[in-house]
Amino acid sequence: MRLSRHAILAPVPGRPDQLLVQPLSGQAALLEPASAAALRALPAGGALPASLPEETLRQAGFVVDGEAEDAALLAAARAEWAEEAAKTPTQLVVVPSFGCNLACTYCYQELFDPTAGGLMAPEVIEAFFAYVERHHGAESPRPYVTLFGGEPLRDTPAHRDRIARFLGGARAARLQVAAVTNGHDLAALLPLLSSGPVKEIQVTLDGPAALHDRRRPHASGAGTFARIVEGIDGLVEAGIPVNLRVVADRENLSSLPELAAFAAARGWLDLPDAKFKTQIGRNYELFGCASRQEKGALFDRVELWARYVELSEAHPELRRFHRPRFHGIGHLAETGELPAPNFDACPAAKKEWAFGPDGSIYGCTATVGHPSHRLGRFHPEVVRDDAAIARWRERSTLTISACQGCALAPVCGGGCGAIAWNQHGSAQAPDCRPVPELYGLGARYYGLGA
Ligand code: SF4
Ligand code: SF4
């Protein structure tokens, strides 16, 4: 008997105990340090302490007798993963234009030519819906369209025309539309958006007014906070779901409690999750860094969430604003179960596609507009680079050679193909995620076993 190859022991920061997770069976337990050591010593003939009943450990899949049992656990988990993946709708990301009305200090898209492709022409929008009907029309669940940029929601006659065409086309095709926006022109576009079918609007606030305005000014230099807040209030009033994003780094993380207090005072945090949710993200590290971003300001994943846990302990009200997921530990704390395993974290060219203003097709939001990642065209004619598409589609921890035998594969999923490409020159390379560290932070944040 030994510890399963896929069991993960995660130290909990600031506590003596360790979190034992078997992602293949969805089981987790907190162990005293002595119990964790005893489990590790099993192959050398160690004995189990009385606190660890063998039958319980076996049922949870924490311990196995050998390779055959590990292989059976893996096969069952892969079947569960495939079933879950089939329930995920495809996201069709459309960039009507790479242009933007803001001048954020950390914009990674400054490397792209904002005029490339101009504003998507009406006939290109028609071609997009024809392509979607042909290539995604039979999918169940139904795909959804996400307007992305650049900035897709601008209050100009030409942009209004395109937004109306996307909403009309989506309505006719029975698709919902989401948008990722800087929020600057939201208030003016509310009547148009309220006509639907809008699934969700993602909008970014980077902190309280002065800090946000410094990081995310209008191209004219003017502040944007007040207008964005007016837009969010309008969405809330119209019943349109809001996904509030904060791009966090060393400059603004400590101001999150102030932003949380602002959101609470606005009544946003009283809304149900289906109407208002938050996400905290890091700046993109792709394709070179934004020139005006202070390089030392970026957090790595562990630092970001370690600092967030500390901040939440000092400011418990932050928990109402955002509860991180910590690779499924949030789900475990809230439901008593870990989420299904995920052997593939990268949806590019599988559950996500992206469409540029010039009629080009890409695999995802991170690669859209990048000439090396063009996978074909949907206008003026449909051309698909099947070999390039196949390379993206086959990427998962089942095919990346470095991931073979990695215990973290069902949680890490191989990370992001675009980051892997950026670092290793190929998407068929690993982008490792700090799973044990985040498990440990999650156990601490959610007070598991405390
Ligand atoms: S390449 Fe990265 S950003 Fe793009 S879909 Fe894959 S994981 Fe997401
Ligand atoms: S990307 Fe790295 S951590 Fe993730 S499964 Fe592959 S080898 Fe393991």
Beta strands 144-147 and 91-94 are parallel
> How far is the centre of ligand 2, averaged over its atoms, from the C-alpha of 408 (Å)?
6
Q: Is 403 touching ligand 2 by the criterion CB < 6 Å?
A: yes
The residue with tokens 């969405």 is: 235
Tokens for 380? 């003026």
CA of 369 to the centre of ligand 1 (A): 14
Residue 260, CB-side half-sphere exposure with 13 Å CA sphere: 21
CB neighbours (10 Å) of residue 83?
A: 10
Ligand 1 centroid–CA 55 distance in Å is 41
DSSP string, 179-243: EEE--TTHHHHHHHHHTS-EEEEEEE--SSHHHHHHHS-BTTS---HHHHHHHHHHHHHHT--EE
Atom of ligand 2 nearest to the CA of 402: 7
| Cα dist from 21 to 60, 74, 330, 333, whole Å | 9, 14, 14, 13
Cα of 396 from ligand 2 centre, angstroms: 10
- Measured by CA distance, the residue closest to atom 6 of ligand 2 is 403
The residue whose CA is least distant from atom 3 of ligand 1 is 366
Phi, psi angle pair for 170, to nearest 5°: -65, -40
The residue contributing the CA closest to ligand 2 atom 7 is 403
Give the β-pairing of 276-281 and 144-147: unpaired
Closest by CA position to 181, among listed 223, 228, 140, 139: 228
- Does residue 356 line the site of ligand 2, with CB under 6 A? no
Chain-centroid distance, C-alpha 10: 23
Which atom number of ligand 1 is nearest to the Cα of residue 395? 6
* Ligand 2 contact, 406 CB (< 6 A): yes
Q: What's the 90 CA to ligand 1 centre distance in angstroms?
A: 13
430 lines ligand 2 (CB under 6 A): yes
Residue 338 CA to ligand 2 center (angstroms) comes to: 19
Reported confidence tier of residue 417, pLDDT bands at 50, 70, 90:
very high
- In the prediction, which pLDDT does 43 show? 79
Ligand nearest to the CA of 373: 1
Q: Spell out the domain ranges in the chain.
A: 2-84, 91-324
Mean pLDDT of the chain: 93
> Of the ligands numbered here, which is closest to the C-alpha atom of 350?
1
Atom 8 of ligand 1, nearest CA residue: 346
Q: Which ligand is nearest to the CA of 366?
A: 1
State which fold the 91-324 domain adopts.
TIM Barrel (3.20.20)
Quote the pLDDT of residue 290: 46
As a whole number of angstroms, the distance between CA 445 and CA 449 comes to: 11
Under a CB-based contact definition with an 8 Å cutoff, are residues 164 and 170 in contact?
no
**Ligand 1 atom closest to Cα of residue 367:** 4
pLDDT for residue 375: 98
pLDDT digit string, tens, across residues 246-296? 999 999 999 999 999 999 999 999 999 999 999 999 876 555 444 455 667
State the pTM of this model.
0.94
Cα 343 to middle of ligand 2, angstroms: 10
Expressed in angstroms and rounded, the spacing between residue 427 Cα and the centre of ligand 2 is 13
Q: Which ligand is nearest to the CA of 403?
A: 2
pLDDT per residue over 201-248, tens digit each? 999 999 999 999 999 988 889 899 999 999 999 999 999 999 999 999
**What are the tens digits of pLDDT across the range 323-347?**
999 999 999 999 999 999 999 999 9
Of the listed ligands, the closest to the CA of 343 is 2
CA of 3 to the centre of ligand 2 (A): 20
pLDDT cut 90: percent of the chain above it: 85
Cα 402 to ligand 2 centre (Å): 7
Q: Give the pLDDT mean for 164-193.
A: 97
285 neighbors 419 (Cβ within 8 angstroms): yes
pLDDT at residue 435 greater than cutoff 90: yes
Q: Using a 6 Å cutoff on CB, does residue 414 contact ligand 2?
A: yes
pLDDT of 29 higher than 90: yes
Q: How many A from CA of 424 to the centre of ligand 1? A: 15
Token look-up 């901040």 returns 311
> Which residue among 432, 435, 437, 439 has the greatest number of ligand 2 atoms within 8 angstroms of its CB, and so is best to mutate?
432
Any residues with Cβ below 6 Å from ligand 1, and which?
345-348, 352, 364-367, 416-418
65-117 confidence digits (pLDDT tens):
999 999 999 999 999 999 999 999 999 999 999 998 888 887 766 556 666 66
Q: What tokens were used for 330?
A: 């949030």
Q: Does the CA dihedral 13-17-22-26 come out positive or negative?
A: negative
According to the model, what pLDDT value does residue 291 have? 47
Q: How far is CA 232 from CA 113, 199, 211, 252, in A?
A: 29, 15, 18, 21
Residue 349: name the closest of 378, 384, 385, 392 by CA: 392
Segment 14-22 mean pLDDT:
96
